[in-house]
Amino acid sequence: MTHQEFQGRVSVGDGTTKHESHATAVASVLNAAGLYTIICPVGVTNPQAAKGMSYGGPVISNNSSNDVSEMASQVATNNLRISNHSYSARCGWQWLKAWVWFGDTNVNQTVDWKFGAYTTEAYSIDASAYAARTYLPVDSWEQWR
């Protein structure tokens, strides 16, 4: 909330109190003011390169829990125009400093059915996007192949 790149333009939409670096980074791509000076290429100072795509706009921050409901309600009440959701249902084996199996062995012992599945969540997001013609959700749901 107090980050120099957001300058008080961030509000919390769902009462969450936890902060997460990934969400902050995503918000910066969208809305960072661009105060941080980047030296890139080597030797060339670019004072505004950290600017987000919509660097003056407000950001509503939410955690991923109950997101589909909050997306629809915030479009309806706050006229939300664009949202980013760079998270998705985990599938198959994942290395998280130990191998973790996210599949359902009752369905298949070796292949996870969720790869490419059109889940209820994906359907719900589509329903909101279809209903709200001024809203663009950018979502990584079900991209796992």
Partner 1 sequence: MKTKTRTTKGIAIVITALAVASVAHAQLKEPPVPGTYYSAKDFEWKPPLPFNPHPRLPVVEIEPGKLLVDDTGVPDTPEQAEARKRHEEAAALANLIAANPLLAEAERAARQAAQEAAWKANKERITPWLVKPLPRAGDNPATRQTIEPETQSRLLSLAAYFNSEHQGVLEEAAKTGTPTELVFLSGERAVLSSFAEGQPLWSMSDSLTQAVSIATAAVWPGGGAGLTSPARTRPSACGKPVASRG
Task: Give the up-direction half-sphere exposure of residue 64: CA atoms within 13 A in the CB hemisphere.
Answer: 13
- What's the rounded Cα separation, in Å, for the pair 15 and 36? 29
> Of 60 and 89, which has the nearer Cβ to partner 1?
89
Applying CB under 8 A, the residues found at the interface with partner 1 are: 20, 22, 25-26, 29, 32, 34, 38, 40-41, 46, 48-53, 63-66, 68-73, 75-77, 79, 81, 84, 86-90, 94, 96-98, 100, 102, 104, 106-107, 114, 119-121, 124, 127-128, 130-134, 138, 140, 143
Give 16-85 as a DSSP string.
-----HHHHHHHHHHH----S-EE-STT-EETTTT--TTTTS-EEE--STTHHHHHHHHHHHH---EEEE
Min separation Cβ 8 and partner 1, Å: 21
Query: Least separation, in Å, of the C-beta of 1 and partner 1?
Result: 18
**Which residue lies nearer to partner 1 by CB, 10 or 70?**
70
